[in-house]
Amino acid sequence: MNSPLAGLKVLDMSRVLAGPFAGRMLSDLGADVVKVEPPEGDITRLWGANVNGVSGYFNQQNAGKRGLCIDLSLPEGVELVRALAAAADVLIENFRPDVMGRLGLSYEVLSGINPRLVMLSISGFGSEGPESRRAAYAPIIHAESGILDRQAKIADSRPVDMALSIADTNASLHGLVGLLSALYLRERTGRGQHVDIAMIDATLVTDDHVHFALDDAFDMQPMPNEVWDTAGGRMIIAGDFRYIWRRLTERCGVVDPTPAGASLGEKIAARRDAARHFFQHTCKDRAAVIDALDAMNLAWGDVRSSSEALELPTVAHRGTFAAVDDRGGGLRRVTQSPYRFSDARSEVRGGAPHQGEHNEAVLDDWLQPGREQRARWRSALLKKG
């Protein structure tokens, strides 16, 4: 199969999204990713459609992983995690920064057991600092980072959260870069690293508009890309209105209707009315709208529903979705790995595990415990589903 990360052992102790998404990508790339859950399970087992005991949300973020269920309130559970960390290449966690230490599973403890271990910790505000103990989910970071305020000003509305967890997945992808870099460094030094990712850092670093705040240059911000009602349906057109207007007059023969002596506000209103009339009436149908946009060399996109997006021709061509075992003898659609290599393979490797489904298999593969040790650890292992 020539998977880039084949043979890599990953202990995924994270939950919900920021950590599990990183683990899912590692699994797609060939790593043996073991999802560790507490007795109550990952909360996302309750989110989305339940198909044969596996929810849609949990399936999407944990497809291809193996499942352990460990009671960390027991000394045997903590002992088992330490043994697994000793055998692992990577450990992922996204608890609040003090939790792993209180459990006796801090990086200092685990690296003493396994100096080659790379540990990825994702939290809202980092492992140290004045806000490190704050609970933080994606909406909190969206608000604290200024994104919600900016979007509200653009839409001239009250702030409202986005319909996807950008702060989580963004931190997860930055975490992937960090841990893969640490693995590369380990090849030179023989030692692992603790990679500390704060969601607030990752969000601000990836914000391509933050320089306006850094330079106090808000008056230089470009106008936002806008959604237009056209004869071909609702479309977003890339470029601020000033540029679109110039292209309309240069390439499509639209005449400036601004009367002499008009104020700036009147000029803008008149030109916008002319642009709307062009897209809705001068262009008689969808083909005419697209021809005009192409003639102006303007990028455009249809404003689609999520269901419509599943049927995009490029999505079908690239295999953006795959069918995996639905754990009941059938198939279930799930997102496919986004990575395409010239001479290697990355792909989702199956559905998500039931809680504790691979307890015995992981112990055998990673630890090969003796009878007494197996009996001791089994007291902290649970299995559901």
- The Cα-based distances of 230 to 236, 243, 275, 277 in angstroms read 10, 18, 10, 9
In a domain, 313, yes or no: no
Distance CA 245, CA 268 (A): 10
DSSP string, 32-88: EEEEEE-TT--GGGGSS-EETTEEHHHHHHHTT-EEEEB-TTSHHHHHHHHHHHHH-
> Which tokens in the block code for residue 205?
């670093």
CA dihedral in degrees (311, 339, 324, 59; nearest 10)? Answer: -90
For residues 175 and 199, state if they share a domain.
Answer: yes
What residue spans of the chain are helical by DSSP H? Answer: 18-28, 56-62, 75-87, 99-102, 107-113, 138-144, 147-155, 166-189, 199-206, 210-214, 241-251, 264-277, 286-295, 306-309, 313-318, 359-362, 371-378
Which CATH number belongs to the domain containing residue 118 in this structure? 3.40.50.10540
For residues 229 and 204, state if they share a domain.
Answer: no
Q: Could you give phi then psi for residue 365, rounded to 5 degrees?
A: -75, -40
Half-sphere exposure of 143 (CA within 13 A, CB side): 8
In a domain, 217, yes or no: no
In a domain, 147, yes or no: yes
For residues 262 and 327, state if they share a domain.
Answer: no
Number of CB atoms found within 10 A of residue 294's CB:
12
Domain range for residue 289? 225-302
Please report the sign of the dihedral spanned by the C-alpha atoms of residue 360, residue 361, residue 363, residue 367: positive
Q: Which of 271, 302, 333 is the last residue of a domain?
A: 302
Q: Is 168 marked active-site?
A: yes
Entry pTM = 0.93
Distance CA 335, CA 279 (A): 35
For residues 231 and 342, state if they share a domain.
Answer: no
Helix and strand numbers, DSSP H then E, in the chain: 17, 13
In a domain, 366, yes or no: yes
Q: Which letter does DSSP use for residue 288 in this model?
A: H
For residues 21 and 66, state if they share a domain.
Answer: yes
pLDDT tens for the chain, 385 residues: list them.
699 999 999 999 999 999 999 999 999 999 999 999 999 999 999 999 999 999 999 999 999 999 999 999 999 999 999 999 999 999 999 999 999 999 999 999 999 999 999 999 999 999 998 988 998 999 999 999 999 999 999 888 999 999 999 999 999 999 999 999 999 999 999 999 999 999 999 999 999 999 989 988 888 888 889 999 999 999 999 999 999 999 999 999 999 999 999 999 999 999 999 999 999 999 999 999 999 999 999 999 999 999 999 999 999 999 999 999 998 999 999 999 999 999 999 999 999 999 999 999 999 999 999 989 999 998 999 887 5
Looking at residue 384, what is its pLDDT?
73
Looking at residue 231, what is its pLDDT?
97
Q: Which of 242, 276, 302 is the last residue of a domain?
A: 302
CB 240 within 8 A of CB 222: yes
Distance CA 149, CA 151 (A): 6
In a domain, 52, yes or no: yes
In total, the chain counts a number of residues equal to 385
* Nearest residue to 28 via CA among 67, 70, 74, 60: 60
For residues 59 and 101, state if they share a domain.
Answer: yes
For residues 296 and 364, state if they share a domain.
Answer: no
Angle between helices 18-28 and 166-189 (to 10 degrees): 50
Looking at residue 221, what is its pLDDT?
83
- The Cα-based distances of 187 to 32, 90, 184 in angstroms read 19, 14, 5
In a domain, 68, yes or no: yes
Order the strands of the 194-198 sheet from edge to edge: 66-69, 32-37, 9-12, 90-93, 118-123, 194-198
Distance CA 11, CA 80 (A): 12
For residues 140 and 76, state if they share a domain.
Answer: yes
Distance CA 216, CA 188 (A): 43
b/e per residue, 85-106, with b = 16+ CB within 10 A? bebbbbbbbbbbbebbeebebb
Catalytic residue among 28, 32, 168, 196: 168
Q: Could you give phi then psi for residue 195, rounded to 5 degrees?
A: -100, 115
For residues 289 and 365, state if they share a domain.
Answer: no
Looking at residue 383, what is its pLDDT?
81
For residues 240 and 354, state if they share a domain.
Answer: no
For residues 134 and 203, state if they share a domain.
Answer: yes
For residues 286 and 195, state if they share a domain.
Answer: no
Looking at residue 84, what is its pLDDT?
98
In a domain, 309, yes or no: no
Looking at residue 219, what is its pLDDT?
83
Q: Which of 302, 336, 360 is the last residue of a domain?
A: 302
In a domain, 367, yes or no: yes
Counted domains in the chain: 2
Amino acid at 291: D
